[in-house]
Amino acid sequence: MDADPPILPRLRPLDEQHSNERLKHDSRFLRGTLQQSLADPVTGAVTASDGLLTKFFGIYQQDDRDLRDERRRAKLEPRYQFMVRVRLPGGVCTPAQWLALDALARAYAGNTLRLTTRQTFQFHGIAKRHLRKHIQGINAAGLDTIAACGDDNRNVICTANPTQSPAHAEVSSLARRISERLMPRTGAYREVFLGAAPPSTPLADEEPLYGSTYLPRKFKVALAIPPQNDIDVFAHDLGFIAILENGSIAGYDVCVGGGMGMTHKISTTFPRLSELIGFCTPEEVLEIAEHSMCIQRDYGDRVDRAHARFKYTIEDRGARWFCDELAARRGRPLQAARPYRFESSADRPGWLQSEDGRWHYTLFVENGRLSDLPGRSLLSGLRAIAGVHRGVFAMTTNQNVIVAGIADADRPAIEALLQAHGIANETGVSALRQNSMACVALPTCGLAMAEAERYLPSLLDKLDEIIAAAGLRDQPITIRMSGCPNGCPRPYLAEIALVGKALGRYNLYLGASACGDRLNALYRENIAEPQILDELGTLIRRYAAEREPGERFGDFTIRASVVPAMIAGRDFQR
């Protein structure tokens, strides 16, 4: 007698699932008690359950952690404030949109904009009573914040700059279509934030794709155009690698099951590189994206959120299983994967000219932070550029921005503005710093265990001395600092990574590749600055002395047996 097929994790009784699942299910497609929460003037917070729901709208409740202790003693609640992230598929916005976002940053978000590691904008510090106006401002510019956080398909990213070539334009357009195809459909966003009237009869199924419990956790899709792997395609749940033949896109290699986050010391959690499973034509991409997400929707762990990402579903059941499931749902299997080659995961700062004669300027923005400092007015400078620019702005996944599609005749005006605001790429910046990334961490991120954005620059000052002394100022070395092991700045794919454990203490990882196809490995645990400088100093000097021509630092540390080559995520925390 055959056994009944096992019940899909998604369909098990809600009481057997993680409590967030019931919360989502009962929320009437993410409405919850948001209206009441926003209206309560006594607290700057929304309720805990509403706080989970707002994430689906790109809104994340935070509090200023620098002030926590002081305010607790003063019998004041934490200084609650909201982070808002824009949905910006492919990372492209128009100058008019840039100006609108700039104005919102000045009105409600402390005069600063943050470019993220996934090609979009983040605002911080928004008071609850300004939240609606802020969201309305974003929507008035033709943008939205839907699914920028939460258990859904996040911002779809692709190799930056749609105006760089026809292939880039095609991929950018595809990113947008994937984002729209996989977007939540609930009317809650418009009702709660944009003043739309609720439907007269509640809709039975506002989410044909997601259902009432959405996904087990976030889902990230990325598209890369070789030889650039600026987006770190293997760090994402679902990756599409453009295969160019004779200058145009023949189709995409598909890879599944990548993801960065882990929990310190819990060896069943780990970062994972996605696996190549086949090839598809451009016309097949949307259906494959949809089916992949639905497979994860059905099979992802709904009990243990630390085990709920797609990478664990693939790890546990195998890529083979996934291919079979995908083939069953599509009605046919993927084709065999085709060859490609990645050279680098870095941006290329400075001027670049594409074949059509247009110019593109990649502005290096340290840690993606746009603000006005004495002598370097990034926020106002870009606002001025947006005032005259007739192309687009393309955000990169390395927290930089490309002023893209500049006609040759317009280039001098842009250069003049870069100079006038002191924001042109400085010539003295080390390649190490240009290849650095840090997440926001303190004071706003509730998950941070240690500083990142506020600390990496000063650590780099000290490392720059070591680098310069070793004669390596122009040698690109990727270095990423993360305030906690969740890995938002993709630390596990950096040649040098510092992952926070406690204030002032980091794990040091070494040995990832320069093109994002190998993880790094733990070298030292729980160390503070003196030891960081000591360890890296020793290794950098060795590298300078012993490296082979053209050898990258990450590769050197493997060859010199400083750390093992780490490919399989499951070995990461062993």
Partner 1 sequence: MATARERDEWAHAPFDTAAVERLRSLISGFDANQRIWLSGYLAGSSASAAAAAHPAPGAAQRAAITILYGSQSGNSERMARLLHDKLKEHQIESALLDMIDCRKSHLQEAQKLLVIVSTHGDGEPPERALSLHELLRGPKITRLDHLTYCVLALGDSSYEKFCEAGRQFDARLEALGAKRLRPREECDVEYEMPARRWIDDVLTLVGTQPGADTLPRISESESRIATISTAYTRRNPFQAPILLNQRLTGRKSSKDVRHVELSLEDSHIRYEPGDAIGIVPKNREDAVDALLEASRFDAETPVRADSQTIGLRQALLDYFEIGPVTPTFMQRYTAAIGSPVPAQAGESPDAMRRYLYGRHLVDVVREYPPAALNPADFAQLLRPLAPRLYSIASSQRTASDEAHLTVSVVEYESLSARRHGVVSSRLANLAMDGASVPIYLHRNGGFRLPADPRTPIVMVGPGTGVAPFRAFLAEREAVGAGGRNWLFFGDRNFESDFLYQSEWIDARKRGTLTRIDVAFSRDQSDKIYVQDRLRANGAELWAWLQDGAHIYLCGDAERMAPDVHATLLEIARMHGALTDEQAAEYMADMQSARRYQKDVY
DSSP element (H, E) containing 502? strand 496-502
User: Which of 39, 76, 407, 568 is close enough to bind partner 1 by CB under 8 A?
Assistant: 76
| CA atoms of 213 and 202, how far apart (whole Å) | 17
Check residue 344 and report its DSSP letter: B
| CA atoms of 336 and 353, how far apart (whole Å) | 35
154 counts as catalytic: yes
Q: How many of the chain's residues bind partner 1 (CB under 8 A)?
A: 27
> Hey, how many other C-beta atoms are within 10 angstroms of the C-beta on 260?
26
Contact flag: residue 142 with partner 1 (CB under 8 A): no
Dihedral sign of CA atoms 556, 560, 561, 563 in order: negative
Catalytic option among 93, 149, 445, 515: 445
Sorted by sequence, the CB contacts under 8 Å of residue 86 that are 6+ apart come out as 58, 101, 120, 121, 122, 138, 143, 144, 145, 148
Query: Smallest gap, in angstroms, from Cβ of residue 69 to partner 1?
Result: 7
User: Which of 14, 38, 127, 319 is close enough to bind partner 1 by CB under 8 A?
Assistant: 127
**Segment 419 to 458, residues that bind partner 1, using CB under 8 A:** 449
Query: Smallest gap, in angstroms, from Cβ of residue 355 to partner 1?
Result: 53
Sorted by sequence, the CB contacts under 8 Å of residue 5 that are 6+ apart come out as none
* Cα angle 174-382-387, degrees, rounded to a multiple of 5: 90
Contact flag: residue 574 with partner 1 (CB under 8 A): no
541 counts as catalytic: no
Cis previous bond, 6, omega within 30: no
Catalytic option among 484, 490, 518, 552: 484
> Are the beta carbons of 87 and 147 closer than 8 angstroms?
yes
For partner 1, give the closer residue by CB, 45 or 424: 45
Contact flag: residue 390 with partner 1 (CB under 8 A): no
User: Which of 16, 19, 36, 72 is close enough to bind partner 1 by CB under 8 A?
Assistant: 72
75 counts as catalytic: no
Contact flag: residue 504 with partner 1 (CB under 8 A): yes
85 counts as catalytic: yes
| CA atoms of 371 and 378, how far apart (whole Å) | 5
| CA atoms of 374 and 27, how far apart (whole Å) | 47
**Segment 19 to 58, residues that bind partner 1, using CB under 8 A:** 41-44
For partner 1, give the closer residue by CB, 73 or 574: 73
Interface region with partner 1, contact rule CB under 8 A, candidates 212-220, 350-358, 379-387, 498-506: 498-506
Catalytic option among 114, 220, 311, 383: 220
Query: Smallest gap, in angstroms, from Cβ of residue 573 to partner 1?
Result: 12
484 counts as catalytic: yes
Q: How far is CA 279 from the centre of its chain?
A: 25
Query: Smallest gap, in angstroms, from Cβ of residue 44 to partner 1?
Result: 7
| CA atoms of 435 and 137, how far apart (whole Å) | 33
| CA atoms of 339 and 326, how far apart (whole Å) | 22
Query: Smallest gap, in angstroms, from Cβ of residue 261 to partner 1?
Result: 16
Cis previous bond, 374, omega within 30: no
Interface region with partner 1, contact rule CB under 8 A, candidates 225-233, 427-435, 495-503, 559-567: 495-503
Contact flag: residue 267 with partner 1 (CB under 8 A): no
Interface region with partner 1, contact rule CB under 8 A, candidates 153-161, 408-416, 496-504, 548-556: 496-504
| CA atoms of 205 and 209, how far apart (whole Å) | 10
Give the residue from 84, 88, 98 showing the smallest Cα distance to 126: 84
User: Which of 388, 469, 502, 567 is close enough to bind partner 1 by CB under 8 A?
Assistant: 502
Contact flag: residue 503 with partner 1 (CB under 8 A): yes
55 counts as catalytic: no
> Hey, how many other C-beta atoms are within 10 angstroms of the C-beta on 398?
28
Contact flag: residue 570 with partner 1 (CB under 8 A): no
Sorted by sequence, the CB contacts under 8 Å of residue 478 that are 6+ apart come out as 345, 346, 435, 436, 493, 494, 495, 496, 512, 514, 554
Contact flag: residue 110 with partner 1 (CB under 8 A): no
Contact flag: residue 79 with partner 1 (CB under 8 A): yes
Query: Smallest gap, in angstroms, from Cβ of residue 505 to partner 1?
Result: 6
Contact flag: residue 320 with partner 1 (CB under 8 A): no
For partner 1, give the closer residue by CB, 76 or 373: 76
Sites of contact with partner 1 (CB under 8 A): 41-44, 67-77, 79, 127, 129, 265, 449, 501-505, 525-526
Residues with a known catalytic role: 85, 154, 218, 220, 439, 445, 484, 488
